[in-house]
Structure formats: C-alpha cells, structure tokens
Amino acid sequence: MAGAIVAVALAFAAAPASSAETATPDDTAHFLAGLPPAADSPLGALTKSPAWQQHANRFDTLFAREEKNQLSKIRAFSDAHLTEKHDVLLYLFSGPDFLYATTFFPKASTYVLAGLEPVGPIPQLTSLGRPAVDHALRNMEVSLNSLLTFSFFITHKMKTELNSGAVYGTLPILYVFLARTGKTIHEVSLVSLDADGNLQSPDQLAGETNADGPREHAKRPPPSAAKGVKIVFSDGDRPNQTLYYFSTNLADASVDRSGFLTFCDKLGTGDDSFIKSASYLMHGGGFTKVRRFILDHSATVVEDDSGIPLAYFDPKKWRLQPYGRYVGPLAMFGHREQPQMAQLFHKAGATPLDFSFGYRWKNKESNLLIAERTAPVTAEGESTASSPPSDRDGPGAQPGGKRENSAAAARARRKRAENSHKGCRHWGFFSVCSAN
C-alpha cells in the first residue's frame, strides 16, 4: 500500500505542470523572470509553488542590486554621453546579454546580438513536469549569476549551463531580460539565414503546402548558416522593437558562409556598435572581417579594451572619448596590453565611471571608450576617409600601415591642433573629446 502511494506521488510530480494549453511568450518570460504572469495564464497555478516563490525572491534581490549598482547609473551615462542614437544596434560577441544592450541603447528599433551559444527551442513550460520546471528556474539563476555579479558571462560555464535540462539555450535568458526590463513580448519565431543573408522561417525551411500541393522548397542554408530567433517587443506604449539573436561563428573562416554579415549589411550603415568582454578576439588576425565590418558600418562604437584595438580607429574618421581607468587586461589576456590606450586615458584625463564595465569589474578599474565617426559613410559602407591599418600590419602600426617618424608626427599634431573641433583636443594620432 505504501509503495502504491509513493508511486502515485512520483507520477503526480512528473506529470505536466498544467494542461496542454500553451502559455504566451510574454507569460513564459514573466514566469522565468520571477514575475507574475497574466491572471488568466495557465502558468498562474505554478506561481504558488515554494520553488517559484523562492526563485522570484532571489531574482527580486539580484535585479534590485543590479538596478542600484549598475543599470540606473548606465542609463544616466547613456542619457548624458550617447545622445546621437541610431536605429540599429550591433552587439557582436554578446551571448544573450540583452540587459546591457537595452540599458545603454534603449531606443534602438532593431537589436542584433550574436554569439556561439545556441538559441534552443521556444520554451513550452505547460508541457513539462514540475521537476523539469523547477530545474529550469534553478538553471536561470545559475546562468545569470556571472552577468549580474561581474557584468559579463563566463563563456566556458555557459557551454554547460545553456545546454542542460528541458529548457535550454539563450532564448530563456533573453526572456528573463526582456521581462525584467519591463518589455512586453508580442512575437517570437525561430529563424535561420541563407547564404545571401535572407531570413528563413522554419516553415520555409521545411517547405509549405497550398491548395495546388507542396510549394517549392526554399533554398536551404548551408550547415554553417546562422541560426537564431526573432523577438518583437515593446516598452510601454512605445513603438514595437525587434531583437535578433544569432548563434554563429564570427571567425574569418566561417563568417562569410553564415550569411550573418550580409544580413547586417542589409540593415544599412550608420549603426551603433557595442562590444564588451569580447575576449580580445579582434586583436588578432582571426576576426578581421568582423572588425572591418564594424568600423565600416558604425556611426558610434562603445567598447572596452577587449574590443577593437585603439590603433584601428583612424583619426581621420573617428573622435575618441575615454571614460574610467585603463589598468591593462587581466593576467589571462596579458599579451593584449595596449600602451597607446594607457597613454590615451592618462593624457586625455578620462572621465571617471561610477559603474563596472567589462572584465575589469572591480571598483574604479573599468574602462570604456566611445568612438564617434567624423567622416561620412558612403552607401557602400566604406568611409570616404583613408583606410585603417592593414590586417597584416597589426594594431601596433599607424593608420595606413606605416609608422610616422617623430618629425612627421609633430607636424601632424600641430596641424590637427589648428583644425581641432571645439571641445576636442588631440593626443598622438587620436582626436580626443572631453565629456560635457
């Protein structure tokens, strides 16, 4: 008899959390974020469980701390120093970090995030047993711990955390950030890119039918094509915004075959680009295409020292504004030290930061650089000014791939000083503007 009771209890625990009724993406996002879903949501009953209530309390504490220490200060910084907002934000090497993307750039109409981490399926919590739902909640807490503690994801941990359980991938994390930043999710669809950078839906990839029989199959993307998710959302009564996250390899050997840069190119030029905790990948020779794309398409680049090396910002094209303090990379990235960056921050009198940013998350160790384009971008995406350093020369070379001698450098400095913009001054080969 006792065994039968135990068996019934186990069967109840493993039973689906609710009926076959499907919850909306917005309700699912709220539930995973520890926020109440709509009153009539099929997930409503699950919010009465001790596991969900503990989860909600933990997230309330974590996000309240994040709001106080980071997000409120970043919004104030953005309002003061990122006044020229643009329609598209490119955030490459991002993983699922929509939290910092929307805090720095709240008014972009289109966000494009990219990383190696898989998207995963669209979560359907009502079809899961309660143990699986509880595991998903715990996994959300573990997955978000590093970002909410250090301001960046720890990549090797994400490989494990984002591939375990019934609810996995970057999509649940994107859900949490959307809900916790007050967004309402309207549409969610899994997508892929063909080799020409065109969006493909799952229906297109599988082939559709009509009254006359099966339609011709859409051109299937190659195995290396970027796979992603498209989310349409809004913030209060503001116009709808669109978030894309693509799981794709941005290295030179793969990026051309993925269709990703072609997709981004179709969004136009004059974008905002955001680079944070990017493992210094664009400092070497393996990510030259992405680095060049960002420089050719961006009106503004916001980054820490792990992004594009300083020497690739041609002074004929860019005006630089340093913030915080440059103390060099962490020991594991010690070979990516930039003496030019140290001199820039010292001589320009960089404005202090009151929040953490990037790998140097400890108080008063973070650095942030705003690069604003001063030369126009043509319709082809290339600046009319001279080219950046050639890739074979590396970031140690001066723009154009040659090193100027001291006399030439002195003449260049005098000439730039004579033609400097109001509020700006020049250090070495870089135009540096103080913050107002």
| pLDDT score recorded for residue 349 | 84
Q: Provide the whole-model pTM.
A: 0.81
Which residue in 47, 20, 49, 21 sits closest to 33, CA to CA?
Answer: 47
List pLDDT tens digits, range 76-109: 999 999 998 899 999 999 999 999 999 999 999 9
Write out pLDDT tens, residues 271-296.
999 999 999 999 999 999 999 999 99
Q: What is the pLDDT of residues 221-272, one digit of tens each?
A: 566 689 999 999 999 999 999 999 999 999 999 999 999 999 999 999 989 9
Q: 134-143, 183-192, 198-207, 391-400 — which is least confidently predicted?
A: 391-400
The answer, yes or no, to whether residue 297 has pLDDT greater than 90, is yes
3 state DSSP class of 169: coil
Could you tell me how far CA 281 lies from the centroid of its own chain?
15
% residues pLDDT > 90 (the chain): 60
- In this prediction, residue 420 has a pLDDT band, given cuts at 50, 70 and 90, of very low
Question: CA of 193: how far to CAs of 89, 223, 230, in Å?
Answer: 19, 10, 12
Q: How high is the pLDDT of residue 8?
A: 34
CA neighbours closer than 13 Å in the CB half-sphere of residue 277: 21
Residue 43 banded pLDDT, cuts 50, 70, 90: very high
Rounded to the nearest integer, the mean pLDDT of the chain is 80
Most confident of 137-146, 318-327, 389-398, 411-420: 318-327
**What pLDDT, on the 0 to 100 scale, is given for residue 403?**
35
Instruction: Give the model's pLDDT for residue 346.
Output: 87
pLDDT (mean) for 122-134: 91
Q: How far is CA 285 from the centre of its chain?
A: 22
* Helix (DSSP H) and strand (DSSP E) numbers for the chain: 14, 14
CB-count exposure of residue 232 (10 Å: 0-12, 13-18, 19+):
middle
| Over residues 108-134, mean pLDDT | 93
Model pLDDT for residues 149-188, shown as the tens digit of each residue: 554 444 444 444 555 567 889 999 999 999 999 999 999 9
Instruction: Please identify which residue in the block is written with the tokens 């910092």.
Output: 100
Higher pLDDT, 126 or 385: 126
Cα dihedral 201, 203, 206, 208, rounded to 10, equals -140
Whole-number pLDDT of residue 147: 59
Which H helix or E strand runs over 301?
strand 298-303
Q: What band does 372 get if pLDDT is binned at 50, 70 and 90?
A: very high
CA gap 93, 74 in Å, rounded: 20
Give the SS3 label for residue 21: coil
pLDDT of 121:
93
CA gap 141, 264 in Å, rounded: 32
Residue 399 pLDDT > 50: no
